[in-house]
Amino acid sequence: MTALLLTRRSIFAQAWPIMLGQATVPLVGIADTAVIGRTGDAVALAGVALGSTVINFVFWTFGFLRMGMTGMTAQASGAGDEDEVRAMLVRGLALGLAIGAMLFALQVAIIPAAFALLAGGEALDRAAQGYVAARFFGAPAGLAVYALIGWFLGLGRTRAALVLQVVMNCINIVADIVFVWRFGMGARGVGFGTAIAEWSALFVGGAIALSVLGPGALAAIRTRGRAMFDGAALKRLFAVNADIMIRTVALLTTFAWFANAGARLGTVPLAANQVLMQFVSVSAFVLDGFAFTAESRIGMAIGKGARGDFLRAFRLTGEFTALAGTGFALGIAAAGPWLVAAMTDNAAVRNMAGDLLIWTALVPLVGAPAWLLDGIFIGATGTRALRNAAILATILYVATDLLLRPWAATGMWIALLASYVWRALALGAYLPRLTRSIAETPSRA
């Protein structure tokens, strides 16, 4: 595999396709919100919000298919093990398709159980359940795409990841508009649009992966056959992924708790939070461009056994993350009122979102350290630290939210900000140990 230089220019060259591709992910959420919001139906808008919470919790429980793939593929690439790079792709796709098929089969139990725990009303639950049921059709493809994107990022093939995400999200937006505005399918139509986009992306991503591997890739994969699923490799895969799965469930619990807190306050607060969370999504996904770059660079540094490369990658990605976090905070504060008005016609939702906007603007600034540290530890496959930090941060978040309940919606957002602080502090405590574990070699600037 080609070595990657560690300079600001090379870091940005690797990061910008991820940032652009990641920006299209929350743009789909914004499109979903706007397509429903422009109908003026607050129940349908809140239904997408509540349904998205369920889907995000269920699907991102298996987010290790993206995160574990990135760190392990980067380390294999850094060590020059091309057979293992190919094997990681096959394992990731097989695991994603298998788990997705299982979720599709179990949706008859998952959907009622999920909505029994959420504080929605009858009409709200009906809209949300329609969205969730439609999304389950895309579960096998969606989880396999997680693995594909993680594999591309691990190799530093960020432009391939960009193409895949742009194709998927463009199809998603077009399908949403057709199903909602043309056929009047409401929240269910948004779900079907996403499922169709996920299946399309799987086929496009598979073709791109074969192109990245080059001529003879299929023959090499067939030659190794069952060796790709040898016991030691699978044991490591599941050990890494089990910790990431627990970590992901803990973080998803934070956002499920946040969404349920909004639902408990009523339809208007929940709908307002759905609008504001689009700003959070854009910030987090775009800033993840530097976190994902850190995953790849950190993984490769560890694969080579180069502490100098590790420290330089951490510093350079940290500089970009701090700058971008500050820019997003200022941008949301300045453009937020106009963007809220563009996303919904409902006056009550607009007013509440406007009142809470200042807290939303602080998220990219406060959350940036936690997002970057996630990338550092994912690239290092330091999954035990990720797991422990997420569990501790979630417990402290819930305690903070309960303490701030008298402040209603404002208290909810302050507690969410605090959750990022708890996570960054917990991961930061593990950082010196991680640094000491890497061999002392010169940086390759």
Summarised one tens digit per residue, pLDDT across range 416-435 is 999 999 999 999 999 999 98
| Mean pLDDT along residues 74-87 | 82
Identify the pLDDT of residue 235.
Answer: 74
Identify the pLDDT of residue 445.
Answer: 41
184 backbone dihedrals φ, ψ, rounded to 5°: 60, 40
Identify the pLDDT of residue 227.
Answer: 63
Summarised one tens digit per residue, pLDDT across range 198-222 is 999 999 999 999 888 877 767 767 6
266 phi-psi bin (left φ>0, alpha ψ -120 to 50, beta other): left
Q: By C-alpha distance, which of 342, 349, 41 is closest to 186?
A: 41
Looking from the CA of 87 toward its CB, the CA atoms found within 13 Å total 20
What does the alpha-carbon distance between residue 38 and residue 44 come to, in Å, rounded to a whole number? Answer: 11
Banded model confidence at residue 287, pLDDT cuts 50, 70, 90:
confident
Banded model confidence at residue 120, pLDDT cuts 50, 70, 90:
low
Structure tokens at 364: 């990219």
| Mean pLDDT along residues 256-271 | 82
> What amino acid occupies position 205?
G
Looking from the CA of 279 toward its CB, the CA atoms found within 13 Å total 33
Identify the pLDDT of residue 225.
Answer: 64
Identify the pLDDT of residue 152.
Answer: 92
Question: Minimum mean pLDDT among 87-101, 106-120, 318-332: which range?
Answer: 106-120
Q: By C-alpha distance, which of 75, 105, 99, 104 is closest to 87?
A: 75
Identify the pLDDT of residue 418.
Answer: 97
| Mean pLDDT along residues 37-50 | 69
pLDDT at 271 over 80: yes
Identify the pLDDT of residue 374.
Answer: 93
Identify the pLDDT of residue 412.
Answer: 93
| Mean pLDDT along residues 303-309 | 81
Banded model confidence at residue 5, pLDDT cuts 50, 70, 90:
low
Looking from the CA of 56 toward its CB, the CA atoms found within 13 Å total 21
Identify the pLDDT of residue 141.
Answer: 94
For residues 315 and 8, the answer to whether their CB atoms sit within 8 Å is no
Q: By C-alpha distance, which of 412, 42, 391 is closest to 257?
A: 412
Identify the pLDDT of residue 39.
Answer: 61
| Mean pLDDT along residues 146-174 | 88
pLDDT at 413 over 80: yes
Q: Which comes out higher in pLDDT, residue 364 or 176?
A: 364
Give Dmax over CA atoms of the chain in angstroms: 64
Q: By C-alpha distance, which of 92, 147, 373, 384 is closest to 246?
A: 384
For residues 37 and 45, the answer to whether their CB atoms sit within 8 Å is yes
| DSSP type of residue 178 | I
What does the alpha-carbon distance between residue 190 and residue 188 come to, in Å, rounded to a whole number? Answer: 5
Summarised one tens digit per residue, pLDDT across range 17-32 is 878 776 666 566 666 6
pLDDT at 237 over 50: yes
Structure tokens at 285: 């996904």
pLDDT at 1 over 70: no
Identify the pLDDT of residue 241.
Answer: 77
For residues 148 and 93, the answer to whether their CB atoms sit within 8 Å is yes
Length of the chain: 445
Q: By C-alpha distance, which of 133, 138, 91, 82 is closest to 112?
A: 133
Identify the pLDDT of residue 259.
Answer: 81
138 backbone dihedrals φ, ψ, rounded to 5°: -95, 5
pLDDT at 79 over 90: no
pLDDT over 70 percentage in the chain? 89
pLDDT at 350 over 50: yes
| Mean pLDDT along residues 254-269 | 83
Average pLDDT, the chain: 84
